[in-house]
Structure 1
Amino acid sequence: MTRNMASIINKLLLSGKYHDLLTLMKGFRNGAVYGAKIRFPHALVMTLLFRGGPISEQARTILRATYTHSKNLASFVILYKGLRLMFIKFDGKPAEYHSFISALIGGYLIWGKYNKVNEQINLYLLSRILYGLIKLGVERGYIPKPKGDSFPIFGALVWGIVLWLFEHHQHTLQPSLQSSMTYLYHESNLWHNIWDFLIYNR
């Protein structure tokens, strides 16, 4: 790109004339990049650790998961930002419900399609929003402010409930969590000799 062309593009970007359109384009770009940055290393590690098969199939699995995450995040960002901008233009000023309704529609259309990537992202967000809602409830006085450090109670409840579900209602948990917990808590009860006690699991 020539210096003159870069100068023209910079003037256009900084003029403010097409700010709404440009913010959608930049949001799409950031969603695609962030989705790939987050998913590729995760898919690489999980595939190499837990999936067998030919290298070509493993590479396809990694690239498919990365593409899905990147595409969905980019699509959601542009949809959410576009809807929110429409609400703001319609009302004349921003309101809290704009964010909720815009994300609700985007969540249904993008994150509501079942696949493993969407499931993981939705579960990740669920834990974060529950934590955030409790903090908001304390801030607004709906929940009494704990005296002292409440994190040990949080940790105790999370682990108490998940192990109770695992031991007595395992079918209610996500398959990957069932698999991890079976490895940690049940398969550690079994061995036949020193080799499957120390070197490999079974």
Structure 2
Amino acid sequence: MATSLAAVNQLLASGRYHTILSIIKGFRNGVVYGSKIRFPHALVMTLLFKGGPIKDQVQAILEATYTHAKNLATFVFTYKTLTALLCEIESKPREYHSFIAAFIGGYLVFGKYNKINEQINLYLLSRVLYGLVRMFVEKGYIPSPPEGKTFPWFGAIIWGLVLWQFEHHQHTLQPSLQSSMSYLYHDSNKWDNFKNFLIYNR
């Protein structure tokens, strides 16, 4: 056993098969990271907002965790495999390889509609837009530094838009956001005794 472990360690340290091993480790990291992110989120959201038998709650938590981990691992595997192939074809890495590989992986993995993919895609959309603005500033397309403080305006516009949408076009928002906002802004208008005023919602 010790001899075989030493042989594996020697292979890993040698640098041989680095591309293939990095794809395998990327898949592993996708499983671990997806599980770490989704399990506590699913646990908290299920305990706070979903009723029903404990067995159904546990099943919902495990299914959400499995889906997130599987999809992230599959995407990492696909992305790393495709970037390696493109690099091999062109003899060196190029900037557009990452876009092509992620585009294909995104279509195959995160293009299948389910609640987990919807949440991940929406999470990334906000980060991408924010990152693009910063990139445009760095490249000089947007003046830098902008005059005055910009973050307060960013917060004001985002919150102004989302509450306007919620109050007047609620159906256009993601269901989980509708639920959260209903709890905060509409359910707080309803009570008829001390218990459902302060101790529980309804």
TM-score (norm 1): 0.96
1 CA distance for matches of 2:71 and 2:85?
21
Q: Distance in 2 between matches of 1:55 and 1:127?
A: 34
Q: Identify the residue that residue 183 of structure 2 maps to in structure 1.
A: 183
- Alpha-carbon distance in structure 2 between the residues aligned to 1:144 and 1:10: 52
Q: Distance in 1 between matches of 2:191 and 2:50?
A: 23
Q: Which moved more, 1:181-190 or 1:88-97?
A: 181-190
1:195 aligns with 2:195: yes
Give, in angstroms, the shift of residue 184 of structure 1: 1.3
Match of 1:122 in 2: 121
Q: CA deviation at 1:199?
A: 2.1
Taking only aligned residues, the RMSD between alpha carbons, in angstroms, comes to 1.1
Corresponding residue for residue 9 of structure 1:
8
Aligned to 1:113, the other structure's residue is in SS state coil
Identify the residue that residue 23 of structure 2 maps to in structure 1.
24
**5+ long unaligned stretches in structure 1:** none
Matched residue of 1:142: which SS?
Answer: coil
**Matched AA of 1:171:** H
Query: How do residues 1-202 of structure 1 correspond to structure 2 at under 5 angstroms?
Result: 2-145=1-144, 146-202=146-202
CA positional deviation for 1:148: 3.6
Q: Unmatched 5+ residue regions in structure 2?
A: none
CA distance in 1, matches of 2:23, 2:186: 49
How far off is 1:82 after superposition?
Answer: 0.3
Amino acid of the residue matched to residue 200 of structure 2?
A: Y
Could you tell me how far 1:151 is from its partner in structure 2?
Answer: 1.0
CA distance in 1, matches of 2:194, 2:22: 61
